[in-house]
Amino acid sequence: MHHKIKNIIFGITAFMLLLFVSIFIDNMKSQDALRLDINYLEAENKRLKAERDAVYEELENKDKDKLKLFEDLVISVIEVESGGNPNAENEGCNGLMQIKGGSFNPNENVEAGSKILATLIAKSVNEADAEATAEDILHRSLTAYNRGWAGANRYKAATGTFTSGYSNKILDRLWNKK
């Protein structure tokens, strides 16, 4: 009987050892899988971060390009409106950007004129038809800057276009800056 107990204990011990080894191996496999998952996630995170950074850089460059284009547009308006003379006066319009009742202070005048121009561009974009190009929008905005919004609409009604000698003169200067 003593021999039977020994065999039973040996069998239980062997079974426990096999069970322990089996659990240990499964655990190692899980840890390897976990390591692989972590490595994959780290690599995927780096890839996504690089993609995000590239998109941000592209957007930042587009914003810089838009800002440069707007700066060049403002300079072109100044060249046509006042020839760069901050003391220019014409028909009640004053300063570099010839603002009606505007300041002769160059900074204030350019700030006011830039705001007016940006507002007209935004309004032109909002009211543009589906076929309108960026150049069409600029022509409308510039004609409105020169004649007022209602004046630009009357001009189009009379001529069939927003393109005017004034807008052509400014856009010719703008495109020659490029």
The DSSP result for the chain, as a single string, is: -HHHHHHHHHHHHHHHHHHHHHHHHHHHHHHHHHHHHHHHHHHHHHHHHHHHHHHHHHHHHHHHHHHHHHHHHHHHHHHHHHTT-TT-EETTEETTTTEET--SSHHHHHHHHHHHHHHHHHHHHHH--TT--HHHHHHHHHHHHHH-HHHHHHHHHHHSSS--HHHHHHHHHHHHH-
What local confidence, expressed as pLDDT, does residue 94 receive? 95
What local confidence, expressed as pLDDT, does residue 15 receive? 57
Domain that holds residue 92: 2-177
What local confidence, expressed as pLDDT, does residue 89 receive? 96
What local confidence, expressed as pLDDT, does residue 177 receive? 75
What local confidence, expressed as pLDDT, does residue 35 receive? 60
What local confidence, expressed as pLDDT, does residue 117 receive? 95
pLDDT along the chain (178 residues), means of 10: 54 58 61 62 74 72 78 94 95 94 92 94 92 92 96 94 94 86
Give the count of domains, the chain: 1
